[in-house]
Structures are given as C-alpha cells and as structure tokens.
Amino acid sequence: MFGLAMRSLRKRAGAFGASFLSMFLGATILMAFASMLDTATGDGVTGTARETLVTMASVVGGWGLILVVFAVTSTLTLSVRQRAAEMALLKSVGATPAQIGRMIVGEAAGVAVAAGLLAIVPAALAGRGIVGLLHDTGQVPADVPHAFGPIAVSMGLGITFVSATAAALITARRAARVRVAESMADAAAEKTRLSRKRIAGGALCLLLATYAAVLTCTLMKGKGTDAMASAGQADIAAAIGFAFLAPAIIRGVTALLAAPLRAFGAAGDLAVTTLRRRTGAMSAAVTPIILFTGTAVGTLYLQATENAATDAAGLSKTADQKGVETLNLVVIGMVVVFTAIMLVNTLLAATAHRRREFAQARLTGATPGQVLGTVALESAVLTVIGVACGTVASVFTIVPFGIARMDSPTPDGSVWIFIGVVALAVVLTGATTLGSARRAVRVPAVEAVAA
C-alpha cells in the first residue's frame, strides 16, 4: 500500500499541490517561531530578552499553529474529497477500507515530510529576520545570535507530520467507511446535512472566541498591551467556527439569493444548484475567504487601536514602541500573507477539479462565456458570505480590545483598512477562480469529459 501511495503521489503531483503548499508554508511559519525557543536557550540569554523570545514563540506560534493545522486539514480534506470516485474504483477492484486508509495516510505523511524538509531553509531565514527585528527594537540584545536548532526542526517537522497524518486519518476513516456503490454515487451528489462533528466543532470554536473576547474586556482590561494576546486569538477562533458551520450558512444565503441569482438566466440557475448541492466543496472554497478577512481585519484594527491607545496615554512613541509596532505588523503580515496564499491555493484546487463538470455543461450547450458566468456568480456569493462571516469574526477581536484599551467598542483606524482588505479578498477570489476556470474551459470539452 505504501508503494501504491508513492505511485499515486508521483502521478498526481498536481492534486497534492494544494496540500503540499499549505504544509510547506505552515512548517515555515512554525519553524521560524519555534527557532525563537532555540535562540532563547542560547548562552547568555537572560531576563527580559529570554521572556520576549519565549512569549513570541508561544503566543504568535500558538495561534499560528491553530491556523496552520486548520489549513492543512482543510486542503487535505479537499484533495481526498476530490478523489472520491478514485477511492470507489479502488474499492471496487478489491482494496479493503484499511488499505485505502493506509494509502491516504501514507500519501499525506509523504507530502508532510517533503514539505517540512523543504521548509527548513526558508524558516531559518525568516527566523533570522525576526530576531533581527528584535535586535533593532532592543528587545533582545544585539549580541544574542539567532539560533536554528533542534527545537525548531523537531517542532516544525513534528507538528506538520502529526497534523497532516491526523487530518488524513480522519478523512481516510470517512472515505473508507462508505460502501462502493454509495461512494460512486457520493462522487456525484454529496450529503447536504450539516454533520454533528461540524456543529460541535463550530460551537466549540465560537465558545472559545466568546471566552477570549469576554476575557479581553474583563480580566485584561487596563492591563495594557497584554490584552493583545487574548484579543488576537478571538477572531481566529471565531473565523474557524464560522468555517465549520459554512455549509449551513451557504445553504441559508443561497435560499435568500436564489431569486436574484436566477434573474441572470441559465448561468444563475446553474450557480444556485451548485451552491445548493455541492455545499461541501463550496464550504472548502469559502473557508479561506473567511479566515483571510477575519484575521486581516481583526489584527489590523487591533494594531490601529493599540497605536491610538499609546497616543492617548500622552506618550510620544519611543523608538522601542515603534519597533514593537513594526514587529507586530510583520507578524500580522505573515499571518495575512499565509491566509491569502491559502485562499488562492484552495480556490485554484477547487476550480481546476471542476474541469469535467464544466465540460459536461459545455456539451449540453453552454458557451465558455456561460460557464464563466456561472463561476463568477458562485464566487460572488462565496465572497459575500466569506467577507460577511470574516467581518463578524473580526468583531470578536476588535470590540473587546477597544473596550479593554480605550473604553470604547469602536475601533480606531481608518475605514480604508476594512475597504482595502475586502477589496483584496474580492480581487484574489475573483481573479483566482475565473483565471482557473478560464484555463479549465480552454481544454476541448470532449477531452475533458473523457479524462
């Protein structure tokens, strides 16, 4: 089975691209922050310098970890879901569920090891950059060198490997449990009810988000900058919570928008049925939009409020505080870039997979323009949902932090931050989906259907 897994990897390199990229970027971020711990164990690192490094690794690395695990799980689930028909075929020629499970897990483990190893060099560079910033801000003395050692490598490889295999185990269990006939049919039409696991996951994450939000505006009130840690996690937890509940949200919104969408003719009609009957795939596509909007809006306004709070305290910014701000922005930047890449990555994988479906529509008489119109409408709906959910998620961070720091629930910072993030989400989603769909319809329909 391991041999089969490796062969399958080699032959379908493209299909694993999305999982690989998320693991690679995830491992890079994890190792970069874990190398702060390596640096902290160095000789002569004491007192506040040590504390700063450990806080940096645990707080930032901590929520980075959640994000990375979630991204890896969702891309892996997507790639297994896309291969439902192949799994059914393997089963029909006599593969046992256990064999299929080993194949999926073997593939994921192989990709994780490759991604983790390749991430070592970029992670070392990123880690050096972060320590360089800490030097500049004076939080860490300049004579403390960046160290990239056993902690970074073992944590980076370990977490990537464990989260990838665990995610694969969960998906494999589900893929292996269904019977052949069922999964052949499943390849076509998926169940539309929200699973109990999704409800539980969504509820748990939203509870955590609420907890972090309440904590921020009660216990952390007046504690100054420390409130950033709890506030910063709230939007991520809320965004993941909404992502869990995405199928139900998509169905609800589609029901609301069905009439106006239908006004667009056949393309609108097709978009409505896809949104309705393919909620699983559509949820996978909307997830990165929610995460991107939620984390970007949340953390950018968080920093804006923090800036305003420092100003209001009547302190003119010291060089140190400017440095801390830069550092925060760098960290925020990493998270935002990560979610943006995940967004493009996931949407590319999800759209490229629909080549056959597009071809079938074309053989029924759809022009390439009509296919692209359908895709445009779908992604418009997904963008609206993703941006709306992400914005609500960011409120979990912004409002409590405002209360904690400024006694005011409204954030500081220009409305243009929000507009900019939304515009970026719209452009990334639209350009990726349409670009990928355009490439898919360029293949002759008869060929795409046979493939």
Partner 1 sequence: MLGRKAARPAGDAGGEALRLEGVRRVYGPEGNQVVALDGVSLSLPVGSFTAVMGPSGSGKSTLLQCAAGLDRPTAGRVFVDGAELAGGSEAALTKFRRQRIGFVFQQFNLLPTLTVMQNVTLPLKLAGRKVDRRRAQEVLERVGLGDRLDHLPSELSGGQQQRVAIARALVTEPRVVFGDEPTGALDTRSARAVLALLQEAVRVYGQTVVMVTHDPVAAAHADAVLYLADGRIVGYQQAPTAETVAERMTHLADEVERQRITAGV
Q: What angle do CA 69, 71, 72 make, to 5 degrees?
A: 65
Residues between 255 and 294 with contacts to partner 1, criterion CB under 8 A? 265-266, 269-270, 273-274, 276-278
Q: Which is nearer to partner 1, 92 or 273 (CB)?
A: 273
Residue 38: CB partners within 8 Å, gap ≥ 6? 147, 148, 149, 150, 151, 152
Does 225 contact partner 1 by CB under 8 A?
no
Could you tell me if 111 and 16 are in contact, meaning their C-beta atoms sit under 8 angstroms apart?
yes
Q: Which is nearer to partner 1, 120 or 434 (CB)?
A: 434
Does 367 contact partner 1 by CB under 8 A?
yes
Does 360 contact partner 1 by CB under 8 A?
yes
Minimum CB–partner distance for residue 359 and partner 1 (Å): 8
Could you tell me if 171 and 87 are in contact, meaning their C-beta atoms sit under 8 angstroms apart?
no
Question: Count residues contacting partner 1 (CB under 8 A)?
Answer: 29
Minimum CB–partner distance for residue 198 and partner 1 (Å): 21
Q: Which is nearer to partner 1, 316 or 364 (CB)?
A: 364
Residue choice 368, 420, 430, 435 for contact with partner 1 (CB under 8 A): 368
Could you tell me if 72 and 287 are in contact, meaning their C-beta atoms sit under 8 angstroms apart?
no
Does 118 contact partner 1 by CB under 8 A?
no
Residue 297: which region, alpha, beta or left (left: phi > 0; alpha: psi -120 to 50)?
alpha
* d(C-alpha 83, C-alpha 12), whole Å: 11
Minimum CB–partner distance for residue 363 and partner 1 (Å): 6
Q: Which is nearer to partner 1, 127 or 268 (CB)?
A: 268
* d(C-alpha 341, C-alpha 25), whole Å: 9
Does the CA dihedral 112-115-120-122 come out positive or negative? negative
User: Among candidates 380, 343, 378, 384, which has minimal Cα distance to 357?
Assistant: 378
* d(C-alpha 401, C-alpha 207), whole Å: 17
Residue choice 13, 43, 365, 415 for contact with partner 1 (CB under 8 A): 365
Does 363 contact partner 1 by CB under 8 A?
yes
Residue choice 370, 376, 384, 420 for contact with partner 1 (CB under 8 A): 370
Minimum CB–partner distance for residue 182 and partner 1 (Å): 10
* d(C-alpha 246, C-alpha 281), whole Å: 10
- Which stretch, 123-131, 207-215, 222-230, 363-371, contacts partner 1 (CB under 8 A)? 363-371
Residues between 178 and 197 with contacts to partner 1, criterion CB under 8 A? 185, 188-189
Summarize as ranges the residues that interact with partner 1 (CB under 8 A).
185, 188-189, 265-266, 269-270, 273-274, 276-278, 357, 360-370, 441, 444-446, 449
